[in-house]
Structure 1
Amino acid sequence: YLNGDIDIYKWEYKIKAEDPEMFNVIEYQEDNSITEEKMSLGKPLLIFENNGNTHKFMGIIYLGERGGNETKIGVEIELIDFLENKGLKEKETFTGNHHVAEYKLREGGSYKILLSQPAKEGEEGIWCVDRWMDNHGMMYYEYIESELDLKTYYNKIQEKADAGKDKSRLDYKDVALDFIKNNAKDYDFDYSLNVALEDFYTLPVNQYYGYIMETKKYEWSENNFIDFDKVEFLTLEDKERLHDLKIDKNRLSDGYYINNPTSYPDSFIIEKDKDTKFYILDDSGKNHKEIGEKDFIEYIKNNKNSLYKIVEIGFDVIKIREVIGDETGR
């Protein structure tokens, strides 16, 4: 990606001061000494581009910033992230073939997993989790406990697959399910095969069902804040989930079931500069009509038991729609 090699140096020092508070630092050690280490982020690594005759300082990375470790793979992943943020490489750990697995959370929202082939492409190539994105678009990496570097680590797994000793990573679905572990089943995933990287980095559209517990307005903000109690909204199409909950689908007289084992609010912000749409049910309870934000806030006060759906992209609330009306508020 660069004209030369990359050199990485540890930066370590220790300063003992009679009064450490005279220095402009946030953290210092128990013996009042000051070091380079940030307790929450770990020790810094200095990154230099080495052109043979000269070294060009590029920046600093902290191994603890993303939950990494001081193994070769931990350093390698942090360096990859550093170079990507500098625009010096594509946002992928492994080039070539990619699939995307999108996992729907039970209370709304989606996680996206980027699957790559780290050793060789095609039907005989193993798959791995390149990285994953949460429902708000935050990016995370899979940190592997190994003393090897990434290339050697996956080449050894590929060799086992070629020899028929371990074929578990030849199926991308198995890799995705293993990553999510016990929180998912096949029907929870939507797979997109042979995608461009741009498809993975498109933020997921999150849809949450629940009850609006309270709206808040603070003096320091023009925005409205909503406390939202998320629920799992199930219909007759969710046969396996209804079976897991031991709910007889034949007893769903209204055609739906609301699973709300806990009542804990999540906060959403309706920002003034965003064009959020608001829809409520009309008097018939069958059709929707659009209203303004101010009228919607007033409407909530008299319809506390209505079920709503919030549509969100990233941290932006795009739409709030009343799903099931509160008959007591009409």
Structure 2
Amino acid sequence: MSEKIYCQGGGCSAKLGAKKLSRILEKIDKYEDPDLLVGFDSHDDASVLKITEDKGIVSTLDFFPPMVEDPYLYGQIAATNALSDVYAMGGVPRTALNIVCFPDEEDLNILGRIIEGGNDKLKEAHVTLSGGHSIRDTSIKYGLSVTGIVDVDSIKTNNNAQTGDVLILTKKLGVGMTLNAMRMKDAAPEVLDDVFKSMTTLNKYAAELLKPYDVHALTDVTGFGLMVHLNEMLDHKKSVLLYGNNIPYFRDCPYYVDEFYLSGAAQTNRNSVEKEVVFEKENFFLEEIMYDPQTSGGLLASVAKKDLDDILDAFKEAGRECYVIGEVVDLKDKSIYVGE
């Protein structure tokens, strides 16, 4: 984005911490609409409002500062990330509105490239850009408000995991620390290419592959990292055993941890849930990977064990990533147990 350094902590790592948000939201005395099927009480990915007996509207919005210097790539990542919440609810996005904050003194060609990048991902998703809103600001921010449709009996909430389910993840972890290494000019180009490809891959494809199967809980892994999103999925009703050796991450992440290319957002994530987490063996690298904030991360699904082989076959045939990372068990003293 010209010679200036714009990406000083953008993407989903710019989120406020989960604890702070919870303290604020739990005090709000909101209007209760009987047709609101999913709201913020469950910490879910988007809201769902029933409009007919069998259809609901999915609503979400997401925006953040740049995490890369290329404005077109930034627009692609922001749009891919915003669309993800609709897919994570089992819905299909239909329309989107741009959200733009832009300094008066900046070159409008930069803004044009950002919006073009976002719109190209909308076209790939068959989503119509129908408008938006912009304001002058001291820094650049971009994202989308997205509206989708979902069948009421197909809504995928994030907190209905069942004992015996298997956990699968559809993208690698380590986005946050890789972007930090990039800012320090210490990330290999081929690793960055892999990370950028991941961040611009629509979760539409993984959601479609999961649709025929018994998915009991579904969310996407973004700024709160794997651990916080997983803890919200368990909702103090179940526990999970994670297979530490199966946790997928981008190449060079061990090096990034050794170099302490870590973020404040990762520490915030750790502070939010570490009392609910038990590591069977001390593993600093694995901890950092699991708390690392992801931008436009993959889907995390709790699926019926009987469907696992078919799901893995479907993803393999489609050439899509799918990693088995754990299993859901009855509630124990802690929510998350990390083994080998």
TM-score range, shorter chain: under 0.3
Relative contact order higher in (CA < 8 Å, ≥ 6 apart): 2
* Bigger Rg, structure 1 or 2: 1
- TM-score, normalisation: structure 1: 0.25
- TM-score, normalisation: structure 2: 0.24
In terms of fraction of residues, the more strand-rich structure is 1
